[in-house]
Amino acid sequence: MTTLLAFDVRVRPLTGNVGAEISGVDTSGPLPDEVVAEVRQALHDHKVVFLRGQTLDYPQQVEFARRLGPLTLGHPIYDAPEGRPHMREMDSRQGTRANHWHTDLTFIERPPAYALLHSKILPPVGGDTIWANTASAYASLPEELRALADRLRVVHSNDCDFTDDTYAHRAADGDQDHYVSQPYEAEHPAVRVHPDTGERSLLLGGFARRVVGYGPQSGRDLLRTLQEYVTKPEQTVRWQWQVGDLAIWDNQSTQHYAVYDYGTALRRGERVTVAGPVPVGVDGRPGTALRGDTSAYSDGSA
């Protein structure tokens, strides 16, 4: 069912649990506060939203993203392109594939709240991205497992299986070593409470390394068990990109996976991220940084 909102903004859900396409919004120019509020509401309702045919240069993308909140720098580890401090280039020529389930940058104290990825170049076939709703995944847990998850704390690290899989093909150029040369670790609740909606969601993904208070094997078993609920097909939506598409996702209640099925073809997007708060658990305890200082990234200061 398509919902008609103010200013002719249309929100069309794509699945029962996650994802919606928004039409009637041109993010390249000025927008009334009411329209931005409708986009934000759709984002909270559907976790990831997609806008086709957006013609955006860097200043326009930054200007629109700032309507959702203050921006971070492009990445806590890699330098941004010259003159574009808030951009992270997602370029397959640089080995940026992200073909692993993850929530962005959970190894820092304040992972981004929202991410906006604008598609620039696509392969002839393939290159879809899949998102999962970690709030509906949490709600689907059996009661006993949900109660256990509420109490767990998880350590996230930039030196993890996600890093190994994503950057192994670049090790010859030293990029993998660069990525992990400065260790970053943060301890977060396994279940976070969304600061705007109050929803509970699972905070896991590829950077999750170990469970506090559990041995290595039992911790891995717990993470795998909980993660299986996130990636069930019922919790996911798959987006087939077109050049000009803008995807906006709530990094506080999703995971995503960029499907690497396009061989050596070029795939390129430009991402900016909105700064997020420290995740807070059901018991009110916030996450905390264990290793590495990423305050400049989160504050967006070049």
Active site residue 271: yes
Q: Of 118, 192, 210, 271, which residue is the catalytic one?
A: 271
For residues 28 and 60, the answer to whether their CB atoms sit within 8 Å is yes
Active site residue 256: yes
Amino acid, single-letter form, for residue 251:
N
For residues 88 and 9, give the distance between their C-alpha atoms in angstroms, rounded to a whole number. Answer: 28
Active site residue 110: no
pLDDT value at residue 4: 44
| Region of 283 on the Ramachandran plot (φ > 0 left; ψ -120 to 50 alpha; else beta) | alpha
For residue 204 the two structure tokens come to 């896991």
Residues counted in the chain: 302
Supply the pTM of this predicted model: 0.93
Q: Of 102, 110, 200, 267, which residue is the catalytic one?
A: 102
pLDDT value at residue 156: 98
pLDDT value at residue 98: 86
pLDDT tens string for the chain (302 positions)? Answer: 555 444 689 999 999 999 999 999 999 999 999 999 999 999 999 999 999 999 999 999 999 999 999 999 999 999 899 999 999 999 998 876 889 999 999 999 999 999 999 999 999 999 999 999 999 999 999 999 999 999 999 999 998 766 544 544 444 444 445 555 689 999 999 999 999 999 999 999 999 999 999 999 999 999 999 999 999 999 999 999 999 999 999 999 999 999 999 999 999 999 999 999 999 999 999 999 999 999 999 998 75
For residues 150 and 58, give the distance between their C-alpha atoms in angstroms, rounded to a whole number. Answer: 40
Q: Of 118, 256, 267, 268, which residue is the catalytic one?
A: 256
Q: Of 46, 97, 104, 200, which residue is the catalytic one?
A: 104
Active site residue 104: yes
State the CATH architecture for 3-299.
4-Layer Sandwich (3.60)
pLDDT value at residue 7: 65
pLDDT value at residue 162: 60
Q: Sketch the domain layout of the chain as residue ranges.
A: 3-299
